């Protein structure tokens, strides 16, 4: 935030419930009245509700919910108020040599990315958008593939534990609540055929959105935690155990493989035991999802009794 905006905000905050005149603000900060108005407009665009009354001035009515930057920095997370995509930011950092374990978290993503090149809606004040950089040693890209499922299971378990809500999983990377998607994982990898150089796990979680906060095209499919819980969550307090759980699960996975997470998937999933259609670029198959194998692939039996092993795609 620029210094003038910050000073005006501090001034309004130190006069709770009171109007502060535009004249006083302009004298205090050596600004014209028009320049004060411009900074107030900029604060409004960041979500601060500031009322204005003729001859009275400006009054701060409500502050937007913001992640607590100080707490996040204490945990060594790299916090940004807005980025195009936390995956893109962390990729640039990875290319500059950042260490495994680096976490980038943003209040807002301007071009949040979903799977298959989709857009991920990431407004400020409502959700959690973060990416984790991993540099596993001695692992091939093919062996690292189930990490997306591991991340989904770890975040699903941590959300259940922290919120008490019945979050479930939909293969391969969706987190659901009451049938609506509340989160997803986007994994990116750089490596050679036999060696991962780095992995990026990007997670998007809808936390405090109300139904009307989503654009119309997402109304049917997207959900968030807050309406179901009947409360607004402290996103900073929530993200700490989520990231801790995610990091721990990833390190267990690198030592022990996916089998350690099979049980969690069976417990949380919405997929197995059901008739589903799975599509992937170039194909589609319908049948009963039987199980996940040791690589996280779905075993699906079609009507003719043939069992397919599907390691990439999505359930429609
Ligand atoms: C999906 O399509 O289900 C995956 C969505 C992943 C969104 C997260 S938000 C943080 C990270 N940065 C991005 O641009 N995308 C991921």
pTM of the model: 0.88
CA 136 to ligand 1 center in whole angstroms: 21
Nearest 5 degrees, angle CA 87-CA 110-CA 234? 80
CB-CB contact of 180 with 192 (8 Å): no
Query: In a structure prediction context, what are the per-residue pLDDT tens digits for the chain, which is 316 residues long?
Result: 678 899 999 999 999 999 999 999 999 999 999 999 999 998 988 778 899 999 999 999 988 899 999 999 999 999 999 999 999 999 999 999 999 999 999 999 999 999 989 999 999 999 999 999 999 999 999 999 999 999 999 999 999 999 999 999 999 999 999 999 999 999 999 999 999 999 999 999 999 999 888 999 999 999 999 999 999 999 999 999 999 999 999 999 999 999 999 999 999 998 889 999 999 888 899 999 999 999 999 999 999 999 999 988 989 8
Say if CB 184 and CB 120 are below 8 A apart.
yes
> How crowded is residue 153: how many other Cβ atoms within 10 Å of its Cβ?
28
Beta strands 127-134; 168-170: pairing state: unpaired
98-109 as b/e, with b when 16 or more CB fall inside 10 Å?
Answer: bebebbbbbbbb
Query: From ligand 1's centre to the CA of 107, what distance in Å?
Result: 14
Strands 127-134 and 195-206: antiparallel
Of the CA atoms within 13 Å of residue 207, those in its CB half-sphere come to 29
Q: How far apart are CA 158 and CA 164, in angstroms?
A: 10
CA of 85 to the centre of ligand 1 (A): 8
Asked if residues 159 and 253 have their Cβ atoms less than 8 Å apart, the reply is: no
CB-defined site of ligand 1, < 6 Å:
85-87, 109, 112-115, 118, 120, 122, 129-131, 173-174, 184-186, 202-204
| Ligand 1 centre distance from Cα of residue 14 (Å) | 38
Quote the Cα angle for 199-154-298, to 5°: 80
Across 175-196, b (16+ Cβ under 10 Å) vs e yields bbbeebbbbbbbbbeeeeeeeb
CA quadruple 52, 58, 63, 68: dihedral sign: positive
């Amino acid at each position: 935030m620029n210094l003038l905006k910050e000073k005006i905000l501090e001034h309004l905050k130190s006069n709770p419930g009171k109007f502060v005149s535009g004249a006083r603000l302009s004298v205090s900060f050596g600004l014209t009245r028009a320049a004060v108005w411009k900074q107030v407009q900029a604060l409004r665009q960041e979500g601060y509700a500031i009322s204005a009354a003729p001859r009275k001035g400006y009054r701060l009515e409500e502050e937007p919910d913001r992640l607590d930057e100080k707490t996040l920095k204490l945990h060594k997370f790299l916090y940004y108020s807005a980025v195009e995509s936390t995956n893109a930011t962390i990729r640039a950092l990875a290319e500059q040599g950042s260490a495994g374990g680096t976490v980038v978290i943003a209040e807002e993503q301007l071009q949040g990315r979903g799977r298959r090149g989709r857009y991920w809606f990431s407004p400020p004040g409502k959700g959690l958008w973060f990416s984790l950089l991993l540099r596993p040693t001695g692992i091939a890209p093919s062996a690292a593939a189930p990490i997306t499922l591991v991340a989904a299971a770890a975040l699903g378990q941590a959300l259940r534990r922290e919120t008490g809500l019945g979050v479930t999983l939909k293969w391969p990377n969706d987190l659901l609540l009451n049938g609506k998607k509340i989160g997803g994982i986007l994994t990116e990898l750089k490596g050679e055929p036999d060696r991962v150089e780095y992995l990026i796990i990007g997670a998007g979680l809808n936390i405090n959105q109300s139904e009307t906060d989503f654009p119309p095209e997402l109304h049917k499919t997207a959900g968030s935690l807050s309406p179901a819980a009947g409360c607004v969550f402290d996103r900073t307090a929530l993200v700490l155990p989520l990231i801790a759980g995610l990091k721990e699960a990833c390190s267990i996975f690198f030592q022990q493989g996916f089998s350690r997470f099979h049980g969690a998937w069976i417990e949380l999933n919405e997929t197995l035991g059901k008739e589903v259609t799975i599509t992937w670029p170039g194909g589609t198959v319908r049948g009963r999802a039987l199980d996940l194998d040791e690589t996280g692939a779905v075993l699906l039996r079609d009507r003719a009794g043939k069992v397919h092993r599907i390691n990439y795609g999505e359930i429609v």
